[in-house]
Structure 1
Amino acid sequence: MFTGIIEELGTIEKMAKGQESIALTIGAKKVIVDLKVGDSIAVNGVCLTVTSFTNTKFTTDVMPETVHATSLSQLQIGSVVNLERAMAANGRFGGHFVSGHIDEVGTILRKRSFANAVYFNIKTSHESTALCIPRGSIAIDGISLTIFDLQKEMVTISIIPHTFNQTTLGFKREGDLVNIETDLLGKYIAKQLQTKSTTLTEDFLQQNGF
């Protein structure tokens, strides 16, 4: 489990590509401090398992399903990536619940500056936007962000200068791909409604503990 608060930017040092898999070697500093083999690290929002590490880098495997479902296959040697270690039980919870399981890959349609903010319009599927709410949370490339505007197949997020400078969004351009994970709590609620009832009634709420 992650929070969507990026700890540092890493750099892709090596990519060993199989037919449908990838082994990534990523240069980093902060996330390696207390690292162990088997630990989880979110790389551009994708939960990956550390297979080996040194004082300056770590290696992780990307399985076929993850290659197909995320934007990691677009990475190249020298690409910069967002990194976050799994949430510590005694740490501050600064973002929102982020699982590291990507729902889909979106496309940046428009990037524009206004005052001290930068707005991104991101194309998504109707299935993803149906799980979003205005002022709700969404993870874009692993970054916990607030939805500024919502349309049928597009979300708009607004970021402050700190997020622009400390994450990969500062490098992103119109047409670039991003990993999208909608709010985990919203997905559970939607599933509950789909499997049990499509109508909210007093009896339904009581039966489900509300």
Structure 2
Amino acid sequence: MFTGIISAVGHIQSLEKRGDDMRVTVAVGKLPMHDVALGDSIATNGVCLTVVDYSSTHYSADVSAETLRYTGFADYRVGSRVNLEKALAANGRLGGHIVSGHVDGVGTVTRVIDHTKYVEIWVKAPDSLAKYIAHKGSITTDGVSLTVNQVNGAEFMLWVIPHTLEETVIGDYKVGTKINLEVDLIARYLERLLQGEHAAKPTGSSIDEAFLAEHGFLNKK
């Protein structure tokens, strides 16, 4: 479990294809490694990776074909900068929001507007994620916990302060940048809970307008 509060920015040191999977080695920058052990989790641009090798300057992890398919890792190159956060300790402070490190999809930056005290960034999410993105709700972008300030269909807007721009890879964003998105975990569980007994039905059953009306969530005309 993570918080979305980035500890350091590292960069991809090497990428090694292993069949359909990949071994990635990340130079950790200023991320302290004294308390890291084999098997620990480190969120890398929001993707929870398991440490299989490490030193004071780097760690290596295996990235599955599934992760390559559903995250930005397929497009990363040696030198690509990545946000880093170690897993939350049980006695740690939850400074952002509950982040699982399981990316839901890849969004695209559509606008970057510079203001005096912040930068306004618009992101187009995959259509399938639009229902989970709410005004003033939480979203994770490349592992960073942020607040959604506007929503327009599957597009949403973020206000990012200078400190966040300086301490994360968000400062590198430009129109067309692909970013890992993780929606609010509570929204995911709420959707499943609302399905009730229908949750046991085979994949393909989903919550739609007819389902909501049947169960009293919409006014029947």
Give the TM-score of the pair, scaled to structure 1.
0.92
- Pick which of 110-119 and 44-53 moved more: 110-119
Q: Distance in 2 between matches of 1:43 and 1:86?
A: 11
Q: Distance in 2 between matches of 1:20 and 1:70?
A: 15
Q: Distance in 2 between matches of 1:180 and 1:56?
A: 27
What residue number does 2:22 align with? 22
User: Given the superposition, is the C-alpha separation of residues 194 and 31 from structure 1 closer, same or farther in structure 2, using an over 3 Å criterion?
Assistant: farther
Q: Distance in 1 between matches of 2:108 and 2:124?
A: 5
Letter of the 1:14 partner, please give it: S
Give the superposition deviation at 1:198: 2.7
Q: Distance in 2 between matches of 1:174 and 1:198?
A: 37
What residue number does 2:33 align with? 32
After superposition, give the CA deviation of every residue in 1:114-141 in whole Å (9 maximum; x if it has no partner). 1211111111123212012101100000
1:198 is aligned to 2:212: yes
Q: Distance in 1 between matches of 2:156 and 2:7?
A: 24
After superposition, give the CA deviation of every residue in 1:21-52 in whole Å (9 maximum; x if it has no partner). 11111111424121000000000000000001
What residue number does 1:45 align with? 46
Pairs within 5 Å for 1:138-149: 138-149=139-150
What residue number does 1:207 align with? none
Q: Distance in 2 between matches of 1:147 and 1:6?
A: 18
Q: Percent identity?
A: 39
Maintained 8 Å contact 2:106/2:126: no
After superposition, give the CA deviation of every residue in 1:144-187 in whole Å (9 maximum; x if it has no partner). 00001111111111110000000001012110100000000011
Instruction: Give the secondary structure class of the aligned counterpart of 1:130.
Output: helix
Letter of the 1:139 partner, please give it: T
What residue number does 1:89 align with? 90
What residue number does 2:162 align with? 161
Q: Distance in 2 between matches of 1:125 and 1:172?
A: 18
**Cα RMSD over matched residues?**
1.5
What residue number does 2:56 align with? 55
Instruction: Give the secondary structure class of the aligned counterpart of 1:190.
Output: helix
Q: Distance in 1 between matches of 2:12 and 2:32?
A: 14
Count of matched residue positions in the alignment of Structure 1 and Structure 2: 202
Unaligned runs of 5+ in 1: 203-210
Pairs within 5 Å for 1:83-122: 83-122=84-123
Q: Distance in 1 between matches of 2:32 and 2:146?
A: 21
Maintained 8 Å contact 1:131/1:190: no
Q: Distance in 1 between matches of 2:42 and 2:51?
A: 7
Q: Distance in 1 between matches of 2:72 and 2:34?
A: 27
